[in-house]
Structure 1
């Protein structure tokens, strides 16, 4: 029996449409962040994207380059588009109220990565930031010989960095280390910003009041501080960071001012966040409001 060409073509179209249906029905997960320029954020977002795509999701990524008004707007847009879920890539939920309300009104679940537990967020998946702060601070205390003056480079809009800084400061106070300055580092551009801040600190604290160390809340300002210290010819000033990015590990291996970092388990964080989203998409609530993963201290070889 011969098929009429038009009927054959129609049959092929029906078959193609049937094959396309599952792709059309696959969940859409919108990742929205203000910090994609940050190396750690980029890493964990890429890890999450890979984990989501393995599950058959369509994962979109939007960056607002530090603009939280734009971030709220993007969240509202995602909620209005009825995406399957929204994932926040770092940031303070207090700055996302408009977006979280829109997601709640649209019944779109929100999961955060390295942010904070808050109303409107089903779960936050992050590192144990208190422990990251303690480990990094203890490494700096050892690097400066248990005494002296240090400065802290922070970024208060990030809840994780804020928690690390508080835990680190408690370690310094207990050890009798004097914190002479705490400086905000802008994002985007934290390497350059930290380099300029450190230039000013090295000029302000000299002689008997000279700095002995710098604690940075993440690796990029630690790199900027290291560059400033090297330019100033002050290798005696020790630097520690947090994240464990490749560039930080390379600096530590060089044996210069960058003495230590605490490596975060970004693949583990991304996998856990994807598992939580998967549960939510299947009607299962998150077992916890906040999941924390440990970090690993990396220091110079002795």
Structure 2
């Protein structure tokens, strides 16, 4: 019995050792498992952070590359004519905006010769410009060249030409609205009746749109009579002056002519000079478009030119360039972009000798010069990057 008791004690001790050993192994496995899991979690977190950093670095690099790809663009500006200060300020708007994006512009003037304009367009395509801006012109002279440009992946944006080609964005002023604004102002000033002279020329898309509004106005205002009409796009200010002088001789008496409606600022300048030199300042002139030179004439109380509807020419150039750069960036752009005009009236301006420029006109005319159409976030970033 004593021996059996000793054996029993020994068996219990062995059993206890086996149990303790098993528990120790489970504890070690659990500890090691937790440690391994923690290590794996840490490794995964480190890998994810690294991947995120790489993604951010790649994104930054791609964005930077995208902006760099938009810099250094060479742009051709094909103009039907570059007559007068409106055109010079429009060119300024084009060049200034392109420069802010890191691009450069070459102007091709066509001297109001559509054959020369077509040739200039072909030259720009053959010289491999990145983009082409077109100012005025007619579809018959431009369509073949524009299609050739698009085939060579040269982007095209047009201002004030009747072009309807897929992939081409066309900017235009709200020409009918400008006509309505000036004609209504004229009607208000002359009491809804009188004899007027129209200075206008056919063959230009904006002129044709302005004529639509003019015809509608005349039909609804039977007490306003047109007694003469003329207009020539070649040397327009001088031609308008000489033709207005002839009209004044034909109608020599005060009251024969109540007002002049001019569908272009160059026409308004010429007609105003003829009227002022003849001492017939009872005749008031209403025009369309605006430049610094025009503005000073309107400010001058001795001038018959009293009001004009217009879009800031610098803004027009800037907006046209923005849409071209949208195309460079692969953005989808509208086929037609309409620019909203403002009405500039003498009574809203300070009197001379205080001269107001178009850059200051926003102080006196609501909405002037504040156009940010086409100015996307990407282009804002490009402008900031190019400025560095």
Contact 1:240 / 1:258 at 8 angstroms: preserved in 2?
yes
1:260 aligns with 2:310: no
Match of residue 54 from structure 1:
100
Correspondence for 1:231 = 277
Other-structure match for 2:339? 293
Do the aligned partners of residues 95 and 139 (structure 1) sit closer, same or farther apart at CA in structure 2, a change above 3 Å counting? farther
Structure with higher RCO (Cα < 8 A, 6+ apart): 1
1:279 matched to 2:330: no
Please give the alpha-carbon distance, in whole angstroms, between the structure 2 residues aligned to 1:248 and 1:121.
Answer: 35
Quick one: structure 1 residues 41 and 115, their matched pair in 2 at CA, closer, same or farther if it must change by over 3 Å?
A: farther
1:144 corresponding residue in structure 2:
190
Q: Bigger shift: 115-124 or 214-223?
A: 115-124
Asked if 1:110 is matched to 2:156, the reply is yes
- Cα 1:209–1:169 change in 2 (3 A) is farther
What is the distance in 1 between the residues matched to 2:166 and 2:202? 21
Distance 1:121 1:216, change over 3 A: farther
Contact 1:34 1:66 in 2 (8 A): yes
Residue 101 of structure 1 is aligned with which of 147, 168, 172?
147
- Number of residue pairs the alignment of both structures matches: 279
Q: Distance in 2 between matches of 1:104 and 1:249?
A: 39
1:182 aligns with 2:229: yes
Contact 1:80 1:106 survives alignment (8 Å): no
- Distance in 2 between residues matched to 1:229 and 1:207, nearest whole Å: 13
| More helix by percentage | 2
Q: Is the 8 A contact 2:77 2:133 kept in 1?
A: yes
Q: Does 2:83 align with 1:37?
A: yes
Query: 1-side partners of 2:237 and 2:85: how far apart?
Result: 11
- Structure number with greater Rg is 2
Equivalent pair of 1:104/1:120 in contact (CA under 8 Å): no
1:114 Cα shift? Answer: 2.8
Whether the aligned pair in 1 keeps the contact of 2:197 and 2:229 (CA below 8 Å) is yes
Question: Quick one: distance in 2 between partners of 1:103 and 1:157?
Answer: 24
Match of 1:74 in 2: 120
- 1:3 is matched with none
Deviations, residues 131-165 of structure 1 (Å, cap 9, x unaligned) = 11111111222232211111211132321122123
Q: d(CA) in 2 for partners of 1:180 and 1:96?
A: 36
Q: 2: distance between equivalents of 1:79 and 1:241?
A: 36
Do the aligned partners of 1:41 and 1:90 also contact (CA within 8 Å) in 2?
no
1:26 counterpart (47, 69, 72): 72
Q: Does 1:171 align with 2:220?
A: no
3-state SS of the aligned residue for 1:96? helix
Q: Secondary structure at the match of 1:156?
A: coil
Moved more, 259-268 or 81-90: 259-268
231-240 vs 110-119, greater mean Cα deviation = 110-119
Stretches (4+) displaced over 6 A: none
CA distance in 1, matches of 2:166, 2:197: 36
1:95–1:178 CA distance, 2 compared to 1 (3 A)? farther
Q: Secondary structure at the match of 2:192?
A: coil
Higher mean alpha-carbon deviation, 198-207 vs 58-67, is at 198-207
Q: Distance in 1 between matches of 2:304 and 2:104?
A: 43
Tell me the TM-score normalized by structure 2: 0.67
For structure 1, the 5+ residue unaligned runs are: 1-21
**Distance of 1:257 and 1:123 partners within structure 2:** 38
Structure 2 residue runs without a partner (length 5+): 1-67, 349-388
Three-state SS of the structure 2 residue aligned to 1:88 is strand
Q: Contact 1:100/1:120 (CA < 8 Å) preserved in 2?
A: no
User: RMSD of the alignment, in Å?
Assistant: 2.3
CA contact 2:131–2:155 (8 Å) conserved in 1: yes
